[in-house]
Amino acid sequence: MSLEPARIEQPEWSGQPAGVEVVSVGVDLDLERRPFGDGSLDGVEAWSYRLARPSADAPWRIIGQGMG
């Protein structure tokens, strides 16, 4: 797995209130899907996660995810 640098987003783009920190982080996942076993779906897949936190001392929470 590899991570891209976090990209800061405007909170209103994801329906969050003003003042909430929102970032989008891309990942490349190297997948081996089991129990399917034929290998046709294995390999690297790009995915992304959107995270938010209400303040700098609050934990990040996943608020969305999707392709690339």
Q: Looking at per-residue confidence, does 6 or 29 come out higher?
A: 6
| The two three-digit tokens of residue 15, written as one number | 């329906």
Quick one: pLDDT band at residue 42, thresholds 50, 70, 90? confident
Q: Kindly give, in sequence order, each residue whose CB lies less than 8 Å from that of residue 45, ignoring residues fewer than 6 positions away.
A: 28, 29, 31
What mean pLDDT comes out for the span 62-67? Answer: 89
Nearest C-alpha neighbor of 17 from the set 55, 49, 64: 55
